[in-house]
Amino acid sequence: MSAARILVVEDDPEISEMIADTLQRRGHTIDVTHSGAEFAQQLKTEDYALVILDRLLPDAEGAELCRSLRQTGDDILVFMITAQDALEDKLEGLEAGADDYLTKPFAFAEMAMRVETLLRRADRTAGTQEEELCTGPLRLDRARKKVTVDGAPIALTATEFSLLAHLMQHTDRPVDRMELLNAVWGYDFDPETNVVEVYILYLRRKLSQATTDVTLRNVRGFGYLLETTDNVLEEQST
């Protein structure tokens, strides 16, 4: 994993300084802003690999900022931080398009580890030799970071994109939860987390809205299976 340019959006100067210091000592280039308006301006002037985004800013709500990014097709990695620790708040942040979510107070070493896990995952996706994957009408273009169904684009977060890519590499065979956790989130991600289940739900919802020709289903005891409807019908007829 190479050093990355990271934007920190946090209105608490003590926390933003600690985040910046921790990541700079690990070789990354850090810019710091303190509001939603500054965040929007920085994205226009600089190219970032990842943004660390506070959920509650003086002039904006972090989840809404993240959702707006995804609606415009921006797949920048978003690492959301917040003092809101309820499960519903975490799920809302992830559903808005955040790639990871950490509640305050947190250990800055853990924050750095999770940020670098996201960056490594992006490097692995970019370095995969097979640039285009196809499952029925579903097309995934790694180079352009684009997913389409019959030519129509589907808006996915960076995490959803990586998850779909791994499933498409193994179309028509079940992929178990631990394999997905290791391939998409990294070996150092908490194995007790339900993040796989949450993102499978998000991905299944988006796929079902885009096409009825590809399904993502649970295979009890084996994992998750991405397959074409034609295969499902063939199995049912035999």
What mean pLDDT do residues 149-170 have? 89
Lowest mean pLDDT among 31-35, 90-94, 225-229: 90-94
The contacts of residue 201 (CB under 8 Å, 6+ apart) are none
Q: Could you say which of 91, 125, 159 is where a domain stops?
A: 125
pLDDT at 124: 61
- pLDDT-derived band at 89 (thresholds 50, 70, 90) equals confident
Lowest mean pLDDT among 17-21, 70-74, 95-99, 194-198: 70-74
pLDDT at 43: 92
Q: Are residues 111 and 52 in the same domain?
A: yes
3-state SS of 47-81? CCCEEEEECECCCCEHHHHHHHHHHCCCCCEEEEE
Lowest mean pLDDT among 95-109, 110-124, 213-227: 110-124
pLDDT at 231: 59
The number of folded domains in the chain is 2
CATH number at residue 61: 3.40.50.2300
Q: Could you say which of 125, 156, 181 is where a domain stops?
A: 125
Q: Are residues 106 and 53 in the same domain?
A: yes
Distance between alpha carbon 54 and the CA centroid of its chain, in Å?
Answer: 16
Q: Are residues 91 and 157 in the same domain?
A: no
* Domain, as residue range, for 49: 5-125
Pick the residue with more confidence: 212 or 124?
212
Q: Could you say which of 125, 159, 188 is where a domain stops?
A: 125
Give the residue among 74, 80, 82 at the shortest CA–CA distance from 12: 82
Q: Are residues 82 and 18 in the same domain?
A: yes
Give the residue among 134, 138, 159 at the shortest CA–CA distance from 211: 138
- pLDDT-derived band at 93 (thresholds 50, 70, 90) equals confident
Is pLDDT at 190 greater than 90 in this prediction? Answer: no
Is pLDDT at 238 greater than 50 in this prediction? Answer: no
Q: Are residues 93 and 175 in the same domain?
A: no
